[in-house]
């Protein structure tokens, strides 16, 4: 930050300066894991000729999946 703004400008920005509660870190990790599960599911669904074991896996996944964007719904004022 420039001196004109009155703040320190020579402080290196490092990960050590991040104040991140463990609960928030868990939320980040879960969001990343959910993203990759979704990406894998979408990829598997896009396969035209699926093996019967993949069909069974996808059928199970369809029943277990939580497709609602829960965080977005929770943050809505009318929710």
Residues 42-68: tens digit of each pLDDT: 999 999 999 999 999 999 988 887 665
Q: What are the angstrom distances between the C-alpha of 75 and each of 24, 30, 37?
A: 16, 18, 23
Q: What is the pLDDT of residue 19?
A: 86
Smallest CA-to-CA distance from 30 within 70, 61, 77 is with 70
Distance CA 77, CA 79 (A): 6
Q: What is the pLDDT of residue 63?
A: 85
pTM: 0.57
Model confidence at 41: pLDDT above 70: yes
Percent of the chain whose pLDDT exceeds 90:
44
């Amino acid at each position: 930050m420039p001196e004109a703004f009155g703040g320190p400008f020579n402080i290196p920005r490092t990960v050590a300066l991040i104040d991140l509660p463990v609960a928030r870190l868990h939320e980040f990790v879960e969001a990343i894991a959910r993203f990759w599960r979704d990406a894998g599911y979408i990829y598997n669904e896009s396969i035209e000729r699926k093996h019967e074991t993949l069909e069974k896996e996808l059928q199970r996944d369809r029943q277990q999946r939580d497709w609602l964007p829960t965080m977005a719904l929770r943050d809505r004022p009318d929710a």
